[in-house]
Structure 1
Amino acid sequence: MKKNFLLLLMCLLTVHLSFAQNTISVQGKVTDASTGQPLIGAGVMVQGTSTGTQTDATGNFTISAPANGTLSVSYLGYQSMQVPINNRNTVNIQLQVSDTELSQVVVVGYGVQEKRDVTGSIASVKGEELNKQASQNPVSSLQGKVAGVSITNNGQPGASPSVRIRGAGSVLGKVEPLYVVDGTIVSDLSFLNPNDIESMDVLKDASSASIYGVRAANGVILVTTKRGKSGAPRINYNGFVGVKKATNQLEMANAREYATLVNEKLGTEKVNPNAPSTDWYDEVLRTASIHNHQVSVSGGSEKITYSLSGGYLNEEGIIKKNDYERITARLQTDAELSDNVKVGYNAIFYDFESNDAPGSVLYEAFVAPPVLPVFKANGNYGDPADIGLGNFANPRATLDRYNQISNGQRLVSNVFSELKFMNNFTFKTSLGLEYGISESRNYQAKDSLTSVQFANRSLLVKARRKDNQWLWENTLTYSKTFGEHDVTALIGTSAQEIKWERLEGRANDVPFDSESTLFLGLGDPETYGISNTADKERFNSYFGRVNYSFRDRYLLTATLRRDASSKFPKDTRWENFPSVGLGWVVSEEPFMQDLAYLDFMKVRASYGKLGNAGIPTNVAQLTATISPRYTAVFGNPPMPYVGGSIVRTVPNILLWEGVDELDFGLELGFLNNRLTFEADWYRKQTNDALFDVPVLLSGGLQGENIRGNFADFRNTGLELVANWSDDISNDFSYSIGGNVSFNKNEVVGLAGGNTFLLGGSLPIGRYFTTVSRLGDPIGSYYGYDVAGIFQTQQEIDNSAQPGAAPGDFRYRDVNNDNVIDSRDRVLLGNPNPGVIYGINTSVTFKNFDFLLDIQGVGDVDVYNANKGIRFGNENYTKDFFDNRWNGPGTSNSYPSSKLSGSNLDPNSWYVEDGSYIRIRNIQLGYTLQNDFVSKLKMQSVRFYVNAQNPVTWFSYKGFTPEIGGTPISAGIDRNVYPIAATYNFGVNVNF
């Protein structure tokens, strides 16, 4: 893979062609006409040619040009200028702010808008903000930067984060947002290099998202990648090297402490407290390395522009032997064939390979007794049979014997053509294609490592999955200004097909000579096993949108999309998704002109319908199933009659999951817009959501569920965003921004009223920890409320738990019937965050720059299922040893070491506060002086040091309270892959 990357870099660098010209050398500086501050990255071109450059970190430029030529200078947000050279060697240029681009431009579905004209709730994050983090998935870099967006990361290399926009609105359907990259709908962003991103725009409300109809129930994230700009070829290198380390590593009991606990439990002296102690986390975790490199080249003429890049990532996981390599390549070209015709394409290639970690190893490191040695004196693995405490796996043996490799390739591309005609019309057609292959190979050798880790026969399992899709879209846009009226109208069509197929084969007795000789055909033919699954889905859509503005202050956005999905029966396949958004720019009113301190004020409101087609495959095709295995005896004389029982049933028709969303917003700008403020209140309700309703046994069903559109969910929230930025001088500027979001999740409707859905099964297998029922949040933790610890037998005799023992949990008798049973279970906690927030700051002083990002979550609970893993003599945490009950009066909060029986029932002791505050990113950079850089034939060089997730403050008694999961099993810690702190050093060079 490294050789392929070097070849890719060589190909990219050859694009930078040198050229000689017999012209004069012109140098100068481009600045803001009002403030005098330098404009970094302004484009300077020789008019009528493809020769161009960009200004450096101090606004300076040098270019070769004809003595009688003209320089064309442009910069985003400023009016372009054409400046005659007139045989001068020094040309300084001052640009005026463009009145037409004072407002930030944001990307909306099938177009762009100035933010001041937007009637919906849209948040935009620029690529330069994302690039200043070590996250390898661009979605992770949004954490703490966008109000209303909750992101849960996974520490495993290559893993995609979990994203919730304005809460979870489904229990059985899709809850992740829709991702659109340069107009192509994709399933995730794992294939995308963050350095290739120009901006990410998050569509949060129905007014902005309804243009995507049945895909938009969970919000939309639009990704725009970088495009070439006219001018001479510009080369950029951005790379870093660093290390990763687990933070807040869980402290387990050592050999002496473990022996004390187990001997207490067993009432014997079976375990020797003086045995050597093994720290199993030290055996499976490591300080890992990471390095990332990217080279990009862009440029072009006034008619053709291009951008291409290549990236290489090598990331080790903090679990030993786990590593991940990724190569990315991107090529983009835009060409103006005439004044009215433009064509272009964008292609992104992604290739990865990983040595996977066994999913059980963290669990094994948590439970393995510390008195079990890693190796015995003879060099063999430490065997649990030698210590007689249970059938524990040796975690080191698990790591050493595990042999699984995953790899895959993915190509995402889009080609478009755009035609402008009759001055006001633009027709665009685009075709998006995606093709992906993923493979895995797992080999279990014939071995005997320990008494519980052995295989009498080798086993080879190979799997291959192929994904492909096409998306064809056509839009016609009409834009016209009539006096004080501005109208933009859009109509379009969209058709998409998504297919996947998975093939898996397995065979025993495959010999191992090398990694390249592992083939199923070499195994025992009698043991061959093949499975083959596939699915196909098609969408067909028509949509339209009208944006209207009167006097630049009264705004209207109206959208309608009509969608059809092949997942649904023909008679329920189509649905309409309308929305309307209204805005009033109050600051443009004459009566507001005397308020010198207020620069901008806009109020807006929106309402719309969205849909969710991301339901389990083939739900609509399920039919009733009857089992004929029952008999009944009737009559006199008695006679047996063959009978049957319904074991599964579904309604005849399943409908879309629909979302109705109402949003009210306020935007303010003060003190020359140095201080901005934005607030949104929303109510987002999912209607007719899929839900499994339990059926009484008397109804003929064997304890099964009926699945249908039986539930309604509601998320209600408030989002607040404030930003302050100021340029004190040419040498000093700073900014500070913060956002906070409050969300309440609730089940507001269920068929039958008192029905419920259980979820969150524990590792022990027979316990459910969550309930989704009317009036409560989705996936609420559910169980017994611990009122203390039984201290004496007399307390037990006088309680509702006569079968308990001293040191056991004392459960609260909720209904006061003097019996502890299932009717005493109550809500114990909420896994849906009530508060999420972020603080983002940056400071620039001369050549130094500094940024600090803080992110946090509050009003949320997690379920520490690890504390309840008690099959036998598993290890304990140090916290348990220090706080356990060990006789009357020793503890009224922690049980004894005899943690078994009803003590393992879901209860409030396992539910902990999941709130945390984290330094998400901290970075210090230094840009070299311009004169030194010029000698090196470079435009700019910046060095930086960075720390990501270096410190997290929380009270949870685990590695991390940042725990994902499906809506009905969210926040349940079953030994999750820990989040790591990353420390790196990097350099960014522009040629």
Structure 2
Amino acid sequence: MKKIFTELSVLVCFCLLLLSDVAFAQNVTVKGTIKDDQNLPIPGISVLIKGTSNGVQTDATGNYSISVSGNGTLVFSSIGFQTQEIPVNNRTTLNVTLLSSSNDLQQVVVVGYGTQRKVDVTGSIGSVKGDDIAKQASANAVSSLQGKVAGVSITNAGSPGASPQISIRGTGTIYGNLGVLYVVDGVWFDDISFLNPADIESMSILKDASSQAIYGIRAANGVVLVTTFKGKNANPTITYNGTVGYRAVTNQIEMANATEYATIINELSAINSAPALFSNPASYGTGTNWYNQAFRNAFQTTHQLSINGGSEKSTYNLSLGYNNEDGIVKNQGYKRYTARFSNDIQVLKPLKIGYSVAASSVNTNDINGSIFRQLYAAGPVVPVYYADGTYGDANDFGLGGGNNFNPQVTLDYFNQKSKNYRVNGNVFAELNFAKHFTFKTSAGGDFGQNEVRGYTPVYSATQGQRSDNSSLTVNRSEDRNWILENTLTYKNTFGNHNLTVLAGQTAQRRKNYFINANALNVPYSSEGDLYLALGNAANRTVVDGGSLTTYVSYFGRANYSYKDKYLLNATLRADAASQFYSGGDLWGYFPSIGAGWVVTNEDFMKNQNIFDNLKIKASWGKVGNAGVPVNPTTLTVAQPAGYVVVFGGVAYTGANVNSLVPSFLNWERTAGTDVGFEASFLKNKLTLEAGFYNRKTEQAIFEIPILSSIGAASSKMIGNQADFRNRGIEVLATWSDRTSNGFKYSISGNIGINSNKVTSVITGLNPIYGGGQGIANGALATRTVQGGAIGEFFGYQVTGIFQTPAEVAASAQTSAKPGDFKYLDLDGNGVIDGKDRIVLGNPNPKYTFGFNTSFEYKNFDLAIDLQGVAGVDVYNANVAYRFGNENFSKDFYNNRWHGAGTSNTYPSAAVGSTSNAAPNSFFVQDGSYIRLRNIQLGYTLPVSLTNKWASKRVRVFADAQNAINIFGYKGFTPEIGYDASAGPISRGIDNNVYPLSAAYRLGLQVTF
């Protein structure tokens, strides 16, 4: 806490040092009252002197007072109202009536290669403002989208700086590149963890194929458009944002204490006909709580300084950011430095040029990937240290083998640091000519370098935790990407017709290079100077590789509206990707079409009093996925040392096909159909959006198993193997209002309902099994088959627990023991085998929902966000993943079978035995949850006070993220994604998952 208060005092001192008295030119003091069209006073209206950043806000009764030049102009603006500019003309009283924005449909949203009025959009696009993103205690902006947009599912990884997994309208693909496409100011990225959330002005999520089609080959899993802050034509504005706080583990799993552990281990020994390990379990007391030993309240702080300004000829924006987060596990840490600068220059009236450049540096102290497994398994009878200072050893208690380590040893001797550097940016020129034409050319680039250095010294801590040789591992990779785009836009209004036509061309090049090296017997250096060359040359290994892909694209789009009633949008994109240069279709063609009808603009709707706005829309489109490995149809051959043939007494090295590839690989395409409406009621206080979608992935690329007798080193082959679809409904409703006493509020709720189904598989009804990562005995716990969902859980149905030997003898499981699971004999043949397995659950969420609110009264503001999922299952692999005498959760201990009649739901301590650990319904649990995603309370100092200083606005706030979590799952968190190496067929399996944590912060925002 001392560290937190020290940081907070630094923030306050920083602000106070910058505050100073400032003299305002007092030519004329203008006073007045701002009211709405219902004659109600409006608090919080911004009153700015045009061409400057000097201004005030109206008080609770709508009154204001400002000093301005007699020939100046005042700008009155606020969200939800039409902006007005009024010349002063030496007046001292200026009362203003602001009109409400005609409707939410008139807002401008960011779409692919431009912007559109929301009323003109025929696709499905969700938008999130930068203010909502900045309110979240998340280093990655994608996490801030959780619960904000219907149909968008976010799974947070938990570890500081880790990128969350995002899916838009269900699982779009299961092989290769599974992520969405991020477009940041025109440059394409697979990840935006380098981006400071405070630099983001808005994010648009393109959800349907119609809006995504303009991005063709990379849009199959959705597109997120990110717009960063640009300069404004105003005097320089300096803004500082800072926070300080900590993260703490929530919903920590309670484990059996030492006495309980000794008791249940003795039971396990008896089941295995072995002598008891502990003669007096009660003598061990509570023992070691390994979670408490390793976890901590993790300090975090953020600082961001931005400068924004410009003139009619040139505008600029500069931002600097710093983020420092400790992990909830001791020794883990994350630091990120960011810098971003953009500059737009109006060279001539028809010509504008501009550029932006961003840089980031990330340093992390990593933790061992198995640490959570060790913390779960470690025996509480083992102390952290003995009295002489040496480490507690599980072997001293007869607990050697399996996963029973001393986690403190792992924390102390694991030494791995990661560094990531990235520089990206773009430059553009925009020329307006012939009145209706705009030509824009832009070039963007991205350079990144990542290095992971891990060192293991010579040490001997316990019998099972030691290293006789030191080793150094260095993994380094580089990415060099560029994109060149040219677009020509024609925009014209003639009579009742509005037409915009866009034509464009894109060329991209993506290059990756990596080198992985290892050396033994590298001497330790206290200075950290560790080099591979210092190790044993005979044991040094180096592996390098890389990839190069290129893309060429042509696209066009036409937007047409007639009398703002009838809307038409059509897109066509043609893409060529180098992955398909041989053995596939080089070119892919991705069309889309959308139509809309603004019903309220019809003459017959003018006298109705129900709808303020009503738009009906429908769309269809196709997008593609080029995210497959390079040269996927190229057959490769290796010469392993063991493949030798002798001719004439001379040994020759043989060759072996080490992979099987398809002779032809086609594009994976996603076709989607959308139908929906947008409406507002009660003078636009209530807005409602709803839609239905049907999204089908055609010729999906899968890995399918192949017979080992074929002789290939790989047991799988990729190919266009299946079709599957996601079908669902999305609803968003918002109520916004304000009262005469200055209370302003907004309440919004959204829900997405999705159903995932495999519609056909090239292998017929033969299933594709998966999900073996972290499952006991390597068993496969998921199945993907025609008619089912992707990666559904599959195994035996538990009907009870065997109570007595006689009950076992009379069953189909004669080799079982009392306390073992009793499985359903599905086919009734008296034998329990693979044919008795059934579908146990679905890891794909059926319902995702969010509830977001904001309240403002006088100088106070409050935001509360709730978020959750339902209709989803998770697989708790932690319970049965045991190879010896690992610990048990308190829940398992309290409910276990330990004698006839003690339990008919939980098995005995032998839950890790081969028969009990087989995938079954006991391990599949409800993964539904609801959480208080974020709550923030802020207070803005009165304008009368801040105007006496150089500052224009000072706001302090306190917030909490994930403070309340409600779920029935028996693990740390039901928010579980998929293993990156296996993809969505491994979704929802909890094995060594990073725990959920809550964040608590204090913050300061100052504008000068």
TM-score range (shorter-chain normalised) is over 0.9
In 2, distance between residues paired with 1:329 and 1:629? Answer: 53
Does residue 749 of the first structure (1) align with residue 760 of the second (2)? yes
Which residue in 2 is equivalent to 1:5? none
Report if the CA contact (8 A) 1:15-1:297 is conserved.
no
Q: Distance in 2 between matches of 1:280 and 1:629?
A: 46
Question: Hey, what does 2:914 align to over in structure 1?
Answer: 901
In structure 2, the CA distance between the partners of 1:70 and 1:793, relative to structure 1 (3 Å rule), is closer
Match of 2:618, as an amino acid? Answer: A
Structure 1 residues 791 and 703, CA gap change in structure 2 (3 angstroms): farther
1:95 CA drift (Å): 4.9
| CA-CA distance at 1:984 after TM superposition | 0.9
Query: Residue 21 of structure 2 contacts residue 948 of structure 2 at CA under 8 Å; is this kept in 1?
Result: no
1:887 aligns with 2:878: no
Distance change (3 Å), C-alpha of 1:57 and 1:284: farther
| Residue 122, structure 1, aligned to residue 134, structure 2 | no
Show the counterpart of 1:547. 559
Equivalent residue for 2:871, pick from 831, 838, 859: 859
Does residue 270 of the first structure (1) align with residue 277 of the second (2)?
yes
- Inter-partner Cα distance in structure 2 for 1:170 and 1:289: 38
Distance 2:875 2:138 in 1: 27
Alignment equivalent of 1:608, drawn from 616, 621, 640: 621
Which of these residues, 592, 616, 622, is aligned with residue 579 of structure 1? 592
Offset of residue 43 of structure 1? 7.0
Check 1:16–1:703 CA distance in 2 against 1; reply closer, same or farther (3 A cut). same
8 Å contact kept, 1:43–1:52:
no
- What SS class does the counterpart of residue 947 from structure 2 fall into? helix
1:107 aligns with 2:114: no
2:667 aligned with 1:652: no
The residue correspondences of 1:144-155 to structure 2 (distance < 5 A) are: 144-155=147-158
Deviation at 1:397, TM superposition (A): 0.9
Q: Cα distance 1:73–1:304, how it changes in 2: closer, same or farther (>3 A)? A: farther
Task: Name the structure 1 match of 2:378.
Answer: 368
Deviation at 1:697?
Answer: 7.1
TM-score (norm 1): 0.93
1:258 is matched with which residue? 261
CA distance in 1, matches of 2:358, 2:559: 32
Correspondences of 1:276-355 after superposition (within 5 Å):
276=285, 277-355=287-365
Tell me how far apart the structure 1 counterparts of residues 118 and 486 of structure 2 sit (CA, whole Å). Answer: 25
Segments of 5+ residues of structure 2 without an aligned counterpart are: 1-11, 645-653
Quickly say closer, same or farther: Cα 1:621–1:183, change in 2 above 3 A: same
CA distance in 2, matches of 1:29, 1:816: 86
Q: Where does residue 982 of structure 1 map in the other structure? A: 999
Match of 2:171 in 1: 168
Count of aligned positions: 973
Match of 2:988 among 964, 971, 986: 971
Q: How far did 1:65 drift?
A: 5.7
Q: Are the aligned partners of 1:43 and 1:75 in contact in 2 as well (CA < 8 Å)?
A: no
Aligned counterpart, 2:440: 428
**1:638: which partner in 2?**
none
Cα pair 1:41 1:54 within 8 Å, conserved: no
Q: Which residues in structure 2 correspond to 1:63-82 (within 5 Å)?
A: 66-71=69-74
Q: Match of 1:945?
A: 958
Query: Residue 384 of structure 1 aligns with which residue?
Result: 394
The aligned counterpart of 1:811 is 823
Report the Cα distance in structure 1 between the residues aligned to 2:353 and 2:102, rounded to whole angstroms.
Answer: 29
Please say if residues 333 and 345 of structure 1, whose CA atoms lie closer than 8 Å, have aligned partners that are also in contact. Answer: yes
User: Cα offset for 1:52?
Assistant: 4.2
Name the CA distance, whole Å, in 1 between partners of 2:637 and 2:601.
Answer: 62
Tell me the residue number matched to 1:44: 48
Opposite residue 852 of structure 1, the aligned amino acid is: I
Partner of 1:230: 233
Task: Name the residue aligned to 1:4.
Answer: none
Query: Measured at CA, do residues 338 and 166 of structure 1 come closer, stay the same or move farther in structure 2, by a change above 3 Å?
Result: same
1:719 aligns with 2:722: no
Q: CA deviation at 1:698?
A: 8.3
CA distance in 1, matches of 2:338, 2:642: 57
CA distance in 1, matches of 2:787, 2:122: 32
**Aligned partners of 2:850, 2:371: CA distance in 1, in Å?**
34
- The match for 1:527 is 539
Q: Which string of whole-angstrom CA distances, capped at 9 and with x for unpartnered residues, describes residues 75-95 of structure 1?
A: 677666554444456656555
Task: Name 2:783's counterpart in structure 1.
Answer: 771
Give, in angstroms, the shift of residue 622 of structure 1: 3.5
- How far apart, in 2, do the equivalents of 1:95 and 1:797 lie? 84
CA RMSD of aligned residues (A): 3.0
For the residue of structure 2 that corresponds to 1:294, the secondary structure is: strand
- State the alpha-carbon separation in 1 of the partners of residues 486 and 717 from structure 2: 41
Q: Which moved more, 1:608-617 or 1:277-286?
A: 608-617
Judging changes above 3 Å, is the alpha-carbon distance between structure 1 residues 473 and 805 closer, same or farther for their aligned structure 2 residues?
same
Deviations along 1:87-122, one digit per CA (max 9) or x if unpaired, are 456656555567699612110000101111110001
Asked if structure 2 preserves the Cα contact closer than 8 Å seen for 1:484 and 1:551, the reply is yes
Contact 1:150/1:165 (8 A) holds in 2: yes
Of 668, 675, 682, the match for 2:686: 675
- Per-residue CA deviation, residues 711-731 of structure 1 (Å, 9 max, x unaligned), is 101111111111111111251
Confirm whether residue 457 of structure 1 aligns to residue 460 of structure 2. no
Q: Deviations over 1:816-865 (max 9, x none)?
A: 11111111111111100011111111221222211211111101000000
Residue 830 of structure 1 pairs with residue 849 of structure 2? no
Q: Deviation string for 1:436-463 (max 9, x for gaps)?
A: 1111211111111111111112111122
Distance 1:529 1:372, change over 3 A: same
Q: Is contact 1:328–1:349 with CA below 8 Å preserved after alignment?
A: yes
Contact 1:236–1:295 (CA<8 Å) still a contact in 2?
A: yes
The AA in structure 2 aligned to 1:891 is: S
Distance 1:368 1:168 in 2: 36
How many angstroms does 1:620 deviate by? 2.6
Q: 1:810 is matched by which residue type in structure 2?
A: K
The 3-state SS of whatever aligns with 1:190 is: coil
Who is 2:159 aligned against? 156
Q: In structure 1, what residue type is equivalent to 2:720?
A: N
Q: How far apart are the structure 1 equivalents of 2:704 and 2:796?
A: 23
Question: How much has 1:472 moved relative to structure 2?
Answer: 0.7
Letter in 1 for 2:839: L
SS at structure 1 position matched to 2:170: coil
Alignment of 1:424-503 (within 5 A): 424-503=436-515
Q: 1:363 is aligned with what amino acid?
A: R
Tell me the alpha carbon deviations over residues 602-661 of structure 1, each in whole angstroms, 9 at most, x when there is no partner: 111111111011123432324699999999xxxxxxxxxxx9998753321101111111
Residues 407-418 of structure 1 aligned to structure 2 (within 5 Å) = 407-418=419-430
In 1, Cα distance between the equivalents of 2:47 and 2:413? 57
Are the counterparts in 1 of residues 22 and 948 from structure 2 also a CA contact under 8 Å? Answer: no
SS of residue in 1 equivalent to 2:616: strand
Structure 1 CA distance for aligned equivalents of residues 214 and 226 of structure 2: 16
Q: 1:675–1:725: 8 Å Cα contact kept in structure 2?
A: yes
Distance 2:23 2:293 in 1: 61
- Aligned twin of 2:188: 185
Is residue 785 of structure 1 aligned with residue 797 of structure 2?
Answer: yes
Tell me which residue corresponds to 1:53.
Answer: 54
Percent same amino acid at aligned positions? 48
Give the residue type in structure 2 aligned to 1:921: N
Secondary structure of the residue aligned to 1:209 is helix
Residue equivalent to 1:206: 209
Structure-2 change in CA distance of 1:894 and 1:599 (3 Å): same
Secondary structure of 2:232's counterpart equals coil
State the distance in 1 between where 2:213 and 2:542 align. Answer: 43
What amino acid does structure 2 have at the position aligned with 1:557?
N
Q: TM-score, normalised by structure 2?
A: 0.92
Q: Equivalent residue of 1:621, what SS? A: coil
